[in-house]
Structures are given as structure tokens and as C-alpha cells.
Amino acid sequence: MAEEIPVRGRSRRDGFTVTNLHHYHVGIFYVVLDKICAEMNHRFTEATMELLMCFSCLDPKNSFSSFDVNSLARLAEIYAEDFSNHDRGVIRGQLETYILHVRRHAAFANCKDIESFSQKMVETEKHLLFPLVYKLIELALLVPVSAATVERAFSCMKTIKSKSRNRIVDDWFNNFMICYIEQELFNSLDETTIIWRFQNLKSHKMQLPCNHARGRGHQ
């Protein structure tokens, strides 16, 4: 790795050389890291990163080495609708007691992720002893689902928001999004029921033919 090589993109006549170690370290490794960081910054906002960092403190690996009371208490503030003022006032004390219990309990020694840890919490009935902590665990388990839903929604937006629909109003756009995301549900609905539901909302310039609508429903 100490061998000298010409600098990429420059003529050998210039005499500029670097070591193989420098080339792979600076020219490749750092460049890849910069691209990963740029992609992470593009995909995740500061609020999202804070949320993920706080949830990572629930990781049971290495005897809960990532545990941090302040970060987990911060989650109660972020999810203010799920925690009352009283909950936010007592959660720090519950977290401090909880970590002492789980670190001493042999049942939690082999937990490798939050999912297995949550199962052990229920099996040992610790979820009853530490209800606020268990609520944080439940929220942590919902994060992958919500993130996937958001990713799916953005993907749908690119399909729906085409050049021909660039002036679509928000309500109409939201309706399109629901229909597109929940395709399986809407495909299972009876077409005739939808037609008559729409027809009965208000009077229209032209009424749908009864036989035609019913006939299509039985096809």
C-alpha cells in the first residue's frame, strides 16, 4: 500500500504521485462516505434523524449500552399526544428504574433487537411494571411501518403528479393518492355500488342508465 502511483487524472509527466493507501483512503473511501452522507441528508430530515437516534437508545444489545435517559425522555416530548403531562413528568424516574431491572434480569441477556426485547417484556410482565417504557417500545416498532408508508406515498406521488395533472387541487390529489395506495382494497369493491353512490350524492346533468350500471356490476 506504500507504493507510489501517479495521481489519477493527471499526466505522468507532471510527476505528482500518491501512495496506494492515500488513493484508496482519500480518492475512494472518503468519496463513498460523502455520497452516503449526502444521500442520508437527502432522505432524512433533522427531525427524523433525531427520532431515529432517540429510538436507538432502546437497543438491548451489549447489555443496553446505548441506553440514554435524556434521549428516551425526549421521545415523550416528540410524541406529546401519546403522553400526558403527568407521564412526561414521571417517565425519567421510570426509565432509571427500568434499566436497573432489565440489566439484572437474565431473561433479557440474549435479546438482540427491539422485537425480541418487547416479547420478553410481555413474558416477564415488565410491560405492566413499566407501561411508559413499553409504550416507547411500541412506538419504536411502528417506525419501520410508517417509514415504508411514507416511502410508498412519495413513490405514488411521482406517478400521479404528471405533467397533465400539474394543476390538480389538493383535495383531488389526496383522493387520487388514497385510491392509488389502497389499490387492493378498491379493486375488491363493487363497481355498481360506487356508481350509484356517486350518482346519489347530487343531481347531475345526465343520469347513469340503470341497466348499464347494473349490467357492468354483474360482468
Residue 68 confidence (pLDDT): 93
Residue 93 confidence (pLDDT): 94
Q: What number of other Cβ atoms are within 10 A of residue 51's Cβ?
A: 20
Residue 146 confidence (pLDDT): 58
pLDDT per residue rounded down to tens, the chain (219 residues) = 667 666 665 555 566 666 767 766 777 777 888 887 777 666 667 777 788 888 889 999 888 999 999 999 999 999 998 999 999 999 999 999 999 999 998 889 888 888 899 999 999 999 999 999 999 999 988 876 555 565 666 666 667 666 666 666 777 777 777 777 777 787 888 878 777 777 777 665 666 555 544 444 444
Residue 217 confidence (pLDDT): 43
3-state DSSP call for residue 6?
A: strand
Residue 215 confidence (pLDDT): 45
Which value, to the nearest 10 degrees, does the dihedral of the CA atoms of residues 150, 135, 91, 121 take? Answer: -130
Residue 187 confidence (pLDDT): 81
Residue type, 175: N
3-state DSSP call for residue 86?
A: helix
Residue type, 53: M
Q: Decide: 132 and 87 in contact? Cβ < 8 Å.
A: yes
Full-model pTM: 0.54
Domain ranges for the chain? 4-43, 58-143, 148-217
Residue 178 confidence (pLDDT): 78
Closest C-alpha among 176, 171, 172 to residue 160: 176
